[in-house]
Structure 1
């Protein structure tokens, strides 16, 4: 067990260093030597875990997605315990993709760096495509659940609307990154609410029962 724990800690130490380099100096700053210096470890140790820059970036991208998923799962669990509507929980989950604070801005920069590399790397492009498909699948499932509870009309195409909602979220994230002063947080969240509200037009039956009780 100590060896596994040490492996995970070292791996995280290196991927955290990669993220800091991307945020501070850009993707071109990510080299084995600079990553080792940033992480406070030897070049040999970095090379023990990663043999190429693309591998370091893939591991960092995977770590960012894991953290995002953990936050979303926590929001959903809390939302279900507090009786929030699916639309509210979906909005909170998607807002985790928007660069509205230091943590999410750093993660967004990693995603942009990964997208840049994936444009010229089939392996990274495959991971990027799978990651996007997973996010759209989660949104489609939320829409399906909305149909069950009455928040979404039964005729709505969940996959089609999930595509639109995720595309809108990605666009809002990019606009926030490019022009943060011209895209204030209230306006960004209002735009996201508007897109979700086009799909979640009904009232949750569970919420109605709570109001009547």
Structure 2
């Protein structure tokens, strides 16, 4: 019997090829022909899945943001399973958005290239905004949960705290990308961890009641 094409896998391969081109040569280097060559496909096959270059770019942006998001979600799920302090889990989840290794540096370059194009492309802007909103909502929920278990003061408003934490993370990502080797002899990974820890410590000032007596 002839093998049935795995359409989702082919769409994923095309998205990976787009991201590789952006990481190596910039977003303007992406064409259907170059993407097809990078993906090991014919131009016709790529056009079968994506009618226009804009459709292809939109799918690639969704794929890379979903990949980052998936890792952060896994950090959160793991923290819940093992009943770890919310601040610790949130630190690990936010770190997935920082370019602390080669894979995440590539992702950061790609997502920032898309974000720049999103200024003039409503469909890309929608993905960019939704990604930012979802992260802020998750952080606000974590702060709210911290209030319920005792890690956060009861009178603290989760939303301003979430805005601050996500803004720091976004700005820190750019700083780390620019200075991958670190500054003042401090490795970028250590510097990033200390900044995130300090910001979280300003919000998560208590200890969860489930750890009382531990």
Smaller-chain TM-score range? over 0.9
Q: CA deviation at 1:83?
A: 2.6
Using structure 1 for the length normalisation, give the TM-score: 0.92
Structure 1: gaps (5+ residues) = none
Question: In 2, Cα distance between the equivalents of 1:75 and 1:81?
Answer: 10
Q: CA deviation at 1:23?
A: 1.2
Using structure 2 for the length normalisation, give the TM-score: 0.92
Residue deviations 1:25-47 (CA, integer Å, cap 9, x gap)? 11121110100000000001111
Q: What's the counterpart of residue 7 of structure 1?
A: 7
State yes or no: 1:121 paired with 2:121.
yes
Contact 2:64 2:107 in 1 (8 A): yes
Q: Which moved more, 1:127-136 or 1:87-96?
A: 127-136
Contact 1:151 1:203 in 2 (8 A): yes
Q: What's the counterpart of residue 90 of structure 1?
A: 90
Q: Which moved more, 1:88-97 or 1:128-137?
A: 128-137
Which one of the candidate residues 199, 205, 208 is aligned to 2:203?
A: 199
Number of corresponding residues? 208
Contact 2:65 2:111 in 1 (8 A): no
Q: CA deviation at 1:165?
A: 0.3
State yes or no: 1:138 paired with 2:142.
no
1:110-189 to 2 correspondences below 5 Å: 110-183=110-183, 184-189=188-193
CA RMSD of aligned residues (A): 1.5
Q: Which moved more, 1:193-202 or 1:55-64?
A: 55-64
Q: CA deviation at 1:70?
A: 2.0
1:15-94 to 2 correspondences below 5 Å: 15-94=15-94
Contact 1:83 1:207 in 2 (8 A): no
Structure 2: gaps (5+ residues) = none
